[in-house]
A = this chain, B = another copy of it.
Amino acid sequence: MSELHDECGVFGIYKNSEETDIVEETYLALYSLQHRGQIGAGIAVNNEGRMVYHKDHGMIPEALPESELARLGNGWIALGHVKYSSGEAVDHENLAPLVMRYIKGQLAICMNGALTNYQKLRNDLNKGAAIFQSNGDTEIISYLIARARIRSASIEEAVRLAVSELQGAYAIVLMSPSKLIGVRDPLGIRPLCLGRIRDSYVLASESCVFDSLGGEFIRDVAPGEMIVVDKDGMHSYTACKSTKSALCLFEFVYFSRPDTILDGVSVAKARQRAGRLLAQQHPVDADFVCGVPDCGIESAIGYSMESGIRYATGLIKNKYIGRAFNNRKKNSQYLMRIKLNALKHNVEGKRVIVIDDSVLKGDTSKHIVELLRQAGAKEVHMRIASPMFRNPCFLTSDTTPKEDLIASRMTSDEICRYIGADSLGFLSVESLPEIARECKLDFCDACFTGNYPLDVSETSREDKYSQKIK
């Protein structure tokens, strides 16, 4: 139950048969990516070069009503996007896909990730008299493509030139009047994969999309690779040279769905392994082990297998709690109880090991310990299926400031006392890469180690939009 907000989810499809209902496929795909972003969703469809789109706030049913889907047409290429929740209000213009008109017609674009040289790029563009309607990375990239397109022979070339200016983590999916294009950042920080659904090539943030739509996974897009799909089929290019890789480990810990396979590694398997390693590193005698739903479940099963302590359900999550509930003004002090309840029958009088995926601010952990104690747990041993989260991440769309990260200012013992557990154990930093050891890529573990895979010294984003008046 991470306090980190979800990532965005991207999707693109190029259909090869009149029969394919491109809007329906995109709509369904977004359901399988909904866990990556719940503040807004959008779909854009390429109707013979004319991009028709709808995007709005809310989860899919609210953002994409049937009546709006009906007017999107049934073109050959489509994009879909779900937007993460950063807690702040998000203007309509910040939703995706962004549909723009430029010298070569229309272009639609969406992304998952964060640029570390956003401010520099924006300052440069400002000096060139750019205007921005959003404050997001996507609009920056759109400008770079438009600028590059002036001096490029093709959209592929323009995209290549544009991304060569980017620093950061990104999975971009865009469509020109005639092509579907996907690019993954040179470090492969954010995931992007290629699949086929019946006749159509699709790009998606996670492989679970292909399963859900009855399609098949082809392969992960390689770091720095650009995939282009057009009427002649699928083509692969190098967008930017990739000398090392740094796949975000938190995708395994929290962001991705357990049935996703990421650069060769099952997310479920990685979580189970984290649980097994935890059992080795922080053994404790107890009556049973349980997980905090949803992301702690697999690790708890792993801990159970390794330790031989039986697995049981300790906490029940109310699956009906959504955005409407969270946005209510009248916030009772006991809202967290509605979201999570202890399963008293299992817990009462027992020594419980409870596995969560990560600890950011610490309040959720504290609440969980209280819940279990109130349900009669004799002992509560908390185990965290990732190391101490000490450093802000500048490579996701939502950055928790360092001062809010409890592990940046407390030791494990101090945190244990703060949350009121009988014992607390984090996965060791050293063993972390082990959880996804078959992975084709190296990892970014900056949130745990501070070793950022690229320069993050200029990530602060100025807000110069508040010159005082009067």
Q: Which residues of A are at the interface with B, using a C-beta cutoff of 8 A? A: 21, 24, 28, 31-32, 34-35, 46, 48-51, 53, 59-62, 66, 71, 75-77, 89, 91-93, 98-106, 126-133, 135, 139, 142-143, 146-147, 149-150, 177-178, 208, 211-214, 231, 257-259, 261, 266-269, 294, 297-298, 301, 304-305, 310-313, 316, 318-325, 328-330, 332, 334-335, 337-338, 341-346, 464-470
CB of B32 within 8 A of CB of A338, answer yes
CB of A212 within 8 A of CB of B341, answer yes
Interface contacts beyond A99-B133, A268-B313: sample of 9 additional A-B pairs, CB < 8 Å, sorted by A: A21-B330, A31-B318, A60-B324, A77-B469, A105-B464, A212-B318, A266-B344, A268-B343, A298-B313
Minimum CB–CB distance from A329 to chain B (whole Å) comes to 7
**CA–CA, A258 to B315, complex, Å?**
10
CB of B213 within 8 A of CB of A344, answer no
CB of B100 within 8 A of CB of A129, answer no
Task: Point out the residue from B76, B105, B150, B467 that lies within 8 Å of A49, measured CB to CB.
Answer: B467
Give the residues in chain B near A75, CB-CB below 8 Å. Answer: 469
Decide if the interface of chain A is mainly helix, strand, loop or mixed: mixed
Minimum CB–CB distance from A236 to chain B (whole Å) comes to 21
Task: Point out the residue from B99, B231, B257, B341 that lies within 8 Å of A211, measured CB to CB.
Answer: B341
CB of B49 within 8 A of CB of A318, answer no
Task: Point out the residue from B31, B128, B316, B323 that lies within 8 Å of A321, measured CB to CB.
Answer: B31
CB of A127 within 8 A of CB of B150, answer yes
What copy number does this chain have within its complex? 4
Task: Point out the residue from B103, B305, B328 that lies within 8 Å of A66, measured CB to CB.
Answer: B328
Given the interface pairs A59-B320, A61-B322, A129-B103, the reply to whether A261 lies near B345 with Cβ below 8 Å is yes
Minimum CB–CB distance from A430 to chain B (whole Å) comes to 24
Across the A-B interface, the 5 shortest Cβ-Cβ residue pairs: A266-B345, A61-B324, A103-B126, A129-B147, A49-B467
CB of A35 within 8 A of CB of B320, answer yes
Minimum CB–CB distance from A311 to chain B (whole Å) comes to 5
CB of A129 within 8 A of CB of B149, answer yes
**CA–CA, A61 to B464, complex, Å?**
33
CB of B102 within 8 A of CB of A344, answer no
Task: Point out the residue from B59, B62, B150, B325 that lies within 8 Å of A129, measured CB to CB.
Answer: B150
**CA–CA, A320 to B208, complex, Å?**
14
CB of A46 within 8 A of CB of B130, answer no
